[in-house]
């Protein structure tokens, strides 16, 4: 619960600092989607059932420690991405380029093209490793991977439209950061 609370509160806080014009209650990401809420509920149900039926499964300290490290790494990477992007970061993929919109390629964006997605990916899986929830580890990994594969393709079409060759060059040099996700394919 602490990691979940910290994640959502810090989403709001960093948005308030970086992009106050887009700040709303939605910035907490509490109402992200039906699927997100279903995943959280599934996690709690799995944890409770396994705690009752297989209590030893929930006492694997080294595994919980690995999960905690994944949660910390993922959340820190996501917040670093949000802070690095500044007012260019928005929770909603933008369809129109604003006058102040620039392509951010420095900081954590020099490591990964989509560091906030990489952070969320590992944070979400880490929450389930932390809880020693084997079913949800697999479910979260697959669902998150699929969501980000589609989201990155959608976002990259927009980024190519906004920045053209500058983005294509960046895309050639810097990986997406997520396993087996290359991004939108561009035919030349």
Nearest to 158 by CA among 108, 120, 114: 114
**Per-domain boundaries in the chain:** 1-15+33-87+100-173
CA dihedral over 74, 60, 144, 44, signed as positive or negative: negative
Tell the burial category of 131 from Cβ atoms under 10 Å away from its Cβ (0-12, 13-18, 19+). buried
Q: Which pLDDT tens digit goes with each residue over 89-144?
A: 887 777 888 888 899 999 999 999 999 999 999 999 999 999 999 999 999 999 99
Using CA atoms, how far apart are residues 174 and 1, in angstroms rounded to an integer? 34
Quote the tokens at residue 130.
Answer: 């932390």
Quote the tokens at residue 179.
Answer: 């396993």
Using CA atoms, how far apart are residues 141 and 162, in angstroms rounded to an integer? 31
User: According to the model, what pLDDT value does residue 31 have?
Assistant: 74
Using CA atoms, how far apart are residues 4 and 14, in angstroms rounded to an integer? 16
With contact defined as beta carbons under 8 Å apart, do 118 and 77 qualify? yes
Q: Which residues of the chain have pLDDT under 50?
A: none
User: According to the model, what pLDDT value does residue 188 have?
Assistant: 61
- Give domain 1-15+33-87+100-173's CATH number out of 1.20.120.1630, 3.30.360.10, 1.20.970.10, 3.40.50.2300: 1.20.120.1630
């Amino acid at each position: 619960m602490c990691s979940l609370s910290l994640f959502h509160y810090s989403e709001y806080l960093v948005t308030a600092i970086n992009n106050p014009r887009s700040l709303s209650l939605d910035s907490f990401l509490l109402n992200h989607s039906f699927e997100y809420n279903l995943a959280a509920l599934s996690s709690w149900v799995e944890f409770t059932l396994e705690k009752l039926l297989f209590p030893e499964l929930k006492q694997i300290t080294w595994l919980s420690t690995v999960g905690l490290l994944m949660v910390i790494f993922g959340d820190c990477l996501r917040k670093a991405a949000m802070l690095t992007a500044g007012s260019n970061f928005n929770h909603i993929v933008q369809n129109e380029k604003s006058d102040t919109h620039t392509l951010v390629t420095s900081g954590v964006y020099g490591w990964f093209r989509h560091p906030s997605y990489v952070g969320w990916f590992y944070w979400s899986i880490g929450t389930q490793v932390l809880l020693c929830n084997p079913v949800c580890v697999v479910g979260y990994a697959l669902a998150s991977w699929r969501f980000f594969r589609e989201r990155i393709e959608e976002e990259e079409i927009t980024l190519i439209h906004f920045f053209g060759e500058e983005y294509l060059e960046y895309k050639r040099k810097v990986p997406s950061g997520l396993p087996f996700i290359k991004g939108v394919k561009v035919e030349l």
